[in-house]
């Protein structure tokens, strides 16, 4: 998509492209309460650009792009900074496009940060954000190209897991940004077709707080997981609408199936409703390939797979180390452990440990791993776990860290670097088009390597 040709014309975020500011427009902007005219600078973590208010405070401006002149309505403020939404664009970036979703904009759905940016620009901005976070938090000066995943060149129709919020009337939607208010939806353009085929938006869900739809891109199957409201009148399961999918009410299976099947690199994986699985259809194979290529496991080696989930990495690395090798998969979620045991049932070299990843587990339950895989949640592995891994004797020959939050990765990498480890490789992947989020695979090697 060409960002220059697709720049919007007059509208809520429009205006004549290339028009310059004048005194009358500035006066008009200032006359409207809570609206500032701002030149916005680089993108910041959180999905908005950095600008400065007339009083010198930093302003984080959503729905803007670097270099634009915008009129922004202040949505919240503190003594140090403000948050604002760009409600009109005076001078457009050439990377600006019309959002494909009508709910993407100020005061509407808070799910997508960057639908107003052309896809190439999104990847460039993500590259800059990753570089900035690693430079600031880990002292790493590196330029990272964010790699496209196959199957979604327009950034739409990829999300195989979507969580909808239910309003007081039982209708589903998405929360507005930094709000408990629900914006109703009739459809979600980034949702995978198998998710949209369930049609949860067309039904009422009385007594329900959230409805999560999980789908298998390979099989086209879906499971709906219902989370009941914590307060207010409770409604029997007979009140739940009939949908063409499995239905799980809390932890109780109402309509089977309550598991999905995924195929990755020739293996089938069972994933129970509610168990973590990558939301982009291509992500499991792409990330597994990146990890295996970087670690280069060989027959007979031992591997620790931490935050193992349903056993994706454990099963695939076990194929490389063979029956003479060993894989210890550590996961704190019991349902995920059950899936991992099923998914590695044909691999006696895999042991699944139901435990949280702690320094004590690192020093006492992993043995002497030649290789380590980390795939933590957004908060990262943390300083203590990272320090325990960096201090293992003998040191693993490589550690692969799969991160969905560059800031957490940067903080943890700093621990390894301070202990004398070195960064061997770094790759980033566009697992989450239309948002600021990005997945990074970093590999570190010990001082003796």
Phi, then psi, of 325 in degrees rounded to 5: -95, -170
Taking residues 123-146, what's their average pLDDT? Answer: 96
CB atoms near residue 266 (< 10 Å): 8
How would you label 309-346 residue by residue, b for 16+ Cβ within 10 Å and e otherwise? bbbbbbbbbbbbbeeebbbbbbbebebbbbbbbbbbee
Does the annotation mark 49 as catalytic? no
Helix (H, G, I), strand (E, B) or coil at 182: strand
Backbone CA torsion sign across 57, 59, 65, 70: negative
Reply yes or no on whether the pLDDT at 153 is more than 50: yes
How would you label 30-41 residue by residue, b for 16+ Cβ within 10 Å and e otherwise? eeeeebbbbebb
* pLDDT band, residue 230 (cuts 50/70/90): confident
Reported as a single tens digit per residue, the pLDDT across 193-204 is: 999 999 999 999
Q: What is the pLDDT of residue 11?
A: 40
Q: What is the pLDDT of residue 33?
A: 63
Reply yes or no on whether the pLDDT at 26 is more than 70: no
What gap in Å lies between CA 343 and CA 319, rounded to an integer?
A: 12
Q: What is the pLDDT of residue 28?
A: 43
* pLDDT band, residue 163 (cuts 50/70/90): very high
Contacts of 274 (CB under 8 A, 6+ apart): 212, 214, 225, 248, 335
Helix residue ranges, H only, 139-200: 193-196
Flag the least confident range among 23-37, 68-82, 234-248, 322-336.
23-37
Contacts of 322 (CB under 8 A, 6+ apart): 299, 300, 349
Which is more confidently placed, 264 or 13? 264
Reported as a single tens digit per residue, the pLDDT across 319-358 is: 999 999 999 999 999 999 999 999 999 999 999 999 999 9
Taking residues 207-217, what's their average pLDDT? Answer: 96
Taking residues 359-387, what's their average pLDDT? Answer: 97
Q: Which of 348, 282, 353, 289 is nearest to 321 (CA)?
A: 348
Helix (H, G, I), strand (E, B) or coil at 284: helix
* pLDDT band, residue 449 (cuts 50/70/90): low
Q: Provide the whole-model pTM.
A: 0.90
| Mean pLDDT value across the chain | 91
Reply yes or no on whether the pLDDT at 77 is more than 60: yes
Beta-bridged to residue 146, according to DSSP, are 428
Q: Which of 151, 156, 75 is nearest to 122 (CA)?
A: 156
Query: Measured between alpha carbons, how far is residue 54 from residues 58, 78, 82, 162, 449 in Å?
Result: 10, 15, 12, 40, 52
Reply yes or no on whether the pLDDT at 22 is more than 70: no
């Amino acid at each position: 998509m060409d960002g220059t040709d697709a720049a919007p014309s007059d509208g809520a975020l429009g205006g004549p492209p290339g028009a310059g500011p004048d005194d009358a427009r500035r006066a008009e902007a200032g006359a409207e309460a809570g609206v500032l005219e701002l030149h916005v600078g680089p993108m910041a973590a959180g999905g908005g650009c950095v600008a400065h208010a007339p009083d010198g405070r930093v302003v984080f401006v959503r729905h803007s792009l670097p270099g634009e002149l915008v009129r922004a309505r202040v949505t919240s403020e503190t003594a140090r900074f403000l948050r604002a939404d760009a409600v009109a664009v005076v001078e457009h970036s050439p990377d600006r496009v019309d959002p494909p979703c009508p709910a993407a904009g100020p005061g509407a759905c808070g799910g997508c940060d960057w639908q107003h940016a052309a896809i190439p620009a999104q990847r460039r901005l993500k590259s800059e954000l990753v570089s900035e976070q690693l430079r600031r938090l880990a002292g790493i000066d590196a330029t990272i190209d964010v790699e496209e995943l196959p199957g979604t060149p327009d950034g739409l129709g990829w999300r195989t897991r979507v969580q909808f919020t239910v309003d007081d009337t039982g209708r589903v939607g998405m929360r507005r940004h930094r709000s408990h208010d629900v914006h109703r939806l009739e459809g979600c353009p980034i949702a995978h077709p198998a998710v949209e085929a369930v049609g949860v938006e067309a039904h009422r869900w009385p007594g329900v707080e959230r409805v999560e739809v999980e789908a298998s891109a390979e099989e086209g199957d879906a499971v709906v997981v219902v989370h009941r409201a914590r307060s207010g009148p409770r409604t029997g399961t007979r009140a739940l609408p009939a949908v063409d999918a499995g239905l799980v009410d809390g932890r109780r299976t109402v309509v089977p199936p309550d598991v999905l099947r995924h195929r990755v690199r020739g293996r089938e994986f069972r994933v129970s409703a509610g168990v973590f699985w990558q939301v982009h259809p291509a992500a499991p194979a792409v990330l597994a390939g990146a990890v295996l290529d970087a670690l280069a496991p060989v027959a007979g080696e031992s591997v620790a797979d931490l935050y193992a989930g349903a056993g994706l990495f454990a099963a695939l690395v076990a194929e490389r180390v063979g029956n003479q090798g060993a894989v210890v998969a550590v996961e704190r979620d019991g349902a995920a452990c059950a899936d991992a045991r099923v998914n590695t049932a044909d691999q006696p070299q895999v042991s699944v440990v139901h435990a949280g990843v702690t320094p004590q587990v690192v020093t006492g339950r992993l043995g002497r791993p030649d290789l380590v895989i980390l795939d933590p949640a957004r908060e990262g592995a943390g300083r203590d776990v990272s320090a325990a891994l960096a201090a293992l004797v003998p040191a693993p020959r490589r550690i692969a860290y799969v991160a969905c939050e560059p800031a957490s990765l940067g903080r943890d990498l700093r621990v390894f670097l301070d202990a004398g480890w070195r960064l061997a490789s770094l790759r980033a992947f566009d697992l989450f088009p239309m948002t600021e989020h990005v997945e990074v695979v970093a590999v570190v090697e010990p001082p003796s390597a």
